[in-house]
């Protein structure tokens, strides 16, 4: 089968003056700048791969030190890292976030303080170290969530509710299912903002090339309104597959460093959540994932979104961290193993065969991507190319290759 490497063109708004923007946004927050000298300030750091996150954290730390404050980093990632103190530090280290790289100590603990309960009796928890600080700055990327739609999704409020709530807070927020997630995040974060030392948020929005597009300081007075505006902006900029109807999608790698669900449901059009209807599009008949990224540390949350995979991926799975992630979120279907094969070649050829005996290979709409985060470069079949020409999509052909294998492994990969 002939494939074409193409480069998709997305909206490319990119923030150029990163450091000066960070400082300007910090300077604009009255609560932060009214702190007394030597006050301790907790800065959150999550488990996602965010472009420029080390620079953003380091510049925030530098600004606070210049003001005579004592900043430190708090891992804010719910149950990730196996829901252990050491595991969460390790996750940050693999993202390049160390005490040396950001210039501040990292204080990690799974211990939480109960702030109280919402009007609906939802308990509100906060990381012990963050609770004991004089101020908290919540730093996170704003983007579409992988399990629900709402005014706020994945971003600052979710980090307050689930990240700073640690495993205990994350469990309560997820307990009532995906249909209640937005409501729970709003209610719990509202309570936390009112009854904790959170002084501001530092929101990050990335463009379709995963480049930093926006850094915005958020005041607690209009927190949710500002986050909602940035969420809309993020969705306008986010990347996507070039076609909504696809026969076979080959994903070279999955992992927590690409999406909280390993394989972003927003990209492939699959929720796999009991009681939640599947999206109408994208409509992908078969999904195959070949490998688990090293930076996912064995967490294969989302493997259940695929139909086919390899022994290599399955053998890399850390069941403890994967199962803990699924149990905390309650989305158990997302970790149920797909059909598994010894080699990439057998997995791909079986996936093609599963499309039916009368389907001609040259008529198959096939897309190959490195992962569900990086979608600017991808391989497509001739059938996809024809449809892109029909819809006058914005893309550039780089080269033409053959779908081929070497020692039963895929010869051409985008992730190399």
Q: Which parts of 279-343 fold into alpha helices (H)?
A: 311-315, 319-329
Structural domain ending residue among the three candidates 190, 207, 237: 237
Q: Name the residue with higher pLDDT: 148 or 39.
A: 39
Per-residue model confidence (pLDDT) at position 394: 87
What pLDDT digit, counting tens, does each position of 284-332 carry?
A: 999 999 999 998 989 999 999 999 999 999 999 999 999 988 988 889 9
Q: Is residue 144 part of a domain?
A: yes
Residue 141 has pLDDT above 80, yes or no: yes
Residue 224: CB atoms within 10 Å = 18
Output the CA torsion 250→252→256→261 (10° steps).
Answer: 10
The residues, any chain, with a CB within 8 Å of residue 194's CB and separated by 6 or more, are: none
Do 222 and 351 fall within a single domain? no
With residue 156 as reference, give the H or E element that holds it: helix 156-158
What pLDDT digit, counting tens, does each position of 150-179 carry?
A: 999 999 999 999 999 998 888 887 777 777
Structural domain ending residue among the three candidates 202, 237, 272: 237
Do 230 and 246 fall within a single domain? no
Helix (H, G, I), strand (E, B) or coil at 282: coil
Dihedral over Cα of 358, 362, 365, 367: its sign: positive
Residue 257 has pLDDT above 90, yes or no: no
d(CA 400, CA 289) in angstroms, rounded, equals 23
Q: Calculate mean pLDDT across residues 370-380.
A: 96
Q: Is residue 74 part of a domain?
A: yes
Per-residue model confidence (pLDDT) at position 328: 84
Do 77 and 224 fall within a single domain? yes
Q: Is residue 416 part of a domain?
A: no
The whole-model pTM stands at: 0.86
Instruction: Show the CA angle centred on residue 44, arms to residues 77 and 110, nearest 5°.
Output: 45
d(CA 59, CA 313) in angstroms, rounded, equals 37
Q: Report yes or no: 314 and 377 within 8 Å, Cβ to Cβ.
A: no
Confidence of residue 189 (pLDDT cuts 50, 70, 90): very high
Take residue 364 and report the two structure tokens written for it.
């198959």
140-161 burial, b at 16+ Cβ within 10 Å, e below that, comes to bbbbbbbbbeeebbbbbbbbbb
With residue 158 as reference, give the H or E element that holds it: helix 156-158
212-219 and 198-206 strand pairing: antiparallel
Do 216 and 316 fall within a single domain? no
Helix (H, G, I), strand (E, B) or coil at 348: helix
Do 224 and 275 fall within a single domain? no
Q: Is residue 328 part of a domain?
A: yes
Do 221 and 271 fall within a single domain? no
Do 122 and 214 fall within a single domain? yes
State the maximum Cα–Cα separation within the chain, in Å, rounded to a whole number.
Answer: 74
Confidence of residue 359 (pLDDT cuts 50, 70, 90): confident
Take residue 296 and report the two structure tokens written for it.
């996912």
Residue 393 has pLDDT above 90, yes or no: no
Per-residue model confidence (pLDDT) at position 329: 86
Do 206 and 230 fall within a single domain? yes
Question: 156: domain CATH number?
Answer: 3.40.50.11440
Per-residue model confidence (pLDDT) at position 175: 75
Q: Given strand 245-254, what is the order of strands in its sheet?
A: 339-341, 308-310, 283-292, 245-254, 366-369, 377-381, 2-8, 395-402
Per-residue model confidence (pLDDT) at position 78: 85
**Structural domain for 104, as ranges:** 18-237
What is the tally of structural domains in the chain? Answer: 2
d(CA 332, CA 256) in angstroms, rounded, equals 16
Pick the range with the lowest mean pLDDT from 23-27, 141-145, 252-256, 360-364. Answer: 360-364
Q: Calculate mean pLDDT across residues 250-267.
A: 94
Do 145 and 271 fall within a single domain? no
Dihedral over Cα of 123, 128, 132, 137: its sign: negative
Structural domain ending residue among the three candidates 237, 262, 290: 237
Pick the range with the lowest mean pLDDT from 14-18, 108-112, 359-363. Answer: 359-363
Do 393 and 253 fall within a single domain? yes
Do 201 and 252 fall within a single domain? no
Residues in the chain: 416
Residue 407: CB atoms within 10 Å = 8
Do 308 and 388 fall within a single domain? yes
Residue carrying structure tokens 């005014």:
151
Q: Report yes or no: 238 and 8 within 8 Å, Cβ to Cβ.
A: no
Residue 11 has pLDDT above 80, yes or no: no
DSSP code per residue over 97-150: --HHHHTS-B---S-EEEEEE-TT--EEEEEHHHHHSSEEEEEEE-B--SS--S
Confidence of residue 356 (pLDDT cuts 50, 70, 90): very high
Residue 363 Cα distances to 1, 119, 248, angstroms: 10, 57, 11
What pLDDT digit, counting tens, does each position of 278-296 carry?
A: 999 999 999 999 999 998 9
Q: Is residue 415 part of a domain?
A: no
Q: Is residue 377 part of a domain?
A: yes
Per-residue model confidence (pLDDT) at position 140: 97
Per-residue model confidence (pLDDT) at position 369: 98
Mean of pLDDT over the chain: 94
Q: Calculate mean pLDDT across residues 342-346.
A: 98
């Amino acid at each position: 089968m002939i494939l074409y490497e193409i480069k998709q063109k997305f909206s490319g708004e990119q923030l150029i003056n990163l450091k000066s923007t960070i400082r300007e946004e910090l300077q604009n927050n009255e609560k932060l700048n009214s702190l007394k000298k030597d006050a301790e300030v907790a800065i959150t750091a999550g488990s996602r791969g965010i472009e420029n996150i080390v620079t953003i954290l380091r510049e925030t730390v530098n600004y606070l030190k210049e003001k005579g404050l004592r900043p430190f980093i708090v891992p804010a990632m719910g149950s990730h890292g196996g829901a252990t103190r050491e595991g969460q530090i390790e996750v940050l280290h693999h993202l390049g976030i160390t005490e040396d790289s950001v210039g501040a100590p990292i204080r990690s603990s799974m211990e939480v303080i109960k702030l109280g309960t919402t009007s609906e009796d939802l308990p509100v928890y906060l990381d012990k170290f963050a609770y004991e600080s004089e101020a908290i700055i919540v730093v996170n990327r704003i983007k579409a969530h992988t399990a629900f739609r709402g005014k706020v999704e994945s971003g600052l409020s979710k980090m307050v509710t689930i990240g700073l709530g640690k495993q205990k807070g994350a469990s309560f927020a997820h307990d009532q299912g995906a249909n209640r997630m937005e409501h729970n995040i709003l209610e719990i974060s509202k309570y936390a903002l009112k009854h904790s030392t959170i002084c501001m948020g530092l929101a990050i929005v990335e463009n379709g090339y995963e480049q930093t597009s926006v850094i915005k300081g958020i005041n607690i007075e209009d927190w949710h309104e500002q986050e909602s505006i940035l969420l809309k902006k993020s969705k306008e900029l986010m990347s996507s597959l070039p076609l909504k109807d696809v026969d076979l999608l080959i994903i070279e790698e999955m992992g927590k460093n690409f999406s909280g669900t390993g394989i972003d449901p927003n990209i492939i059009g699959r929720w796999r959540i009991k009681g939640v209807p599947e999206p109408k599009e994208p409509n992908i008949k078969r999904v195959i994932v070949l490998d688990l990224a090293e930076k996912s540390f064995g967490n294969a949350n989302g493997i259940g979104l695929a139909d086919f995979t390899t022994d290599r991926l399955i053998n890399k799975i850390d069941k403890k961290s994967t199962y803990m992630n699924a149990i905390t979120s309650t989305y158990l279907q997302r970790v149920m193993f797909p059909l598994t094969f010894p080699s990439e070649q057998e997995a791909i050829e079986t996936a093609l065969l599963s499309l039916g005996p009368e389907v001609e290979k040259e008529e198959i709409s096939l897309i190959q991507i490195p992962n569900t985060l990086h979608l600017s470069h991808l391989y497509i079949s001739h059938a996809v190319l024809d449809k892109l020409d029909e819809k006058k999509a914005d893309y550039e052909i780089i080269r033409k290759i053959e779908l081929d294998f070497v020692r039963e492994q895929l010869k051409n990969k985008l992730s190399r």
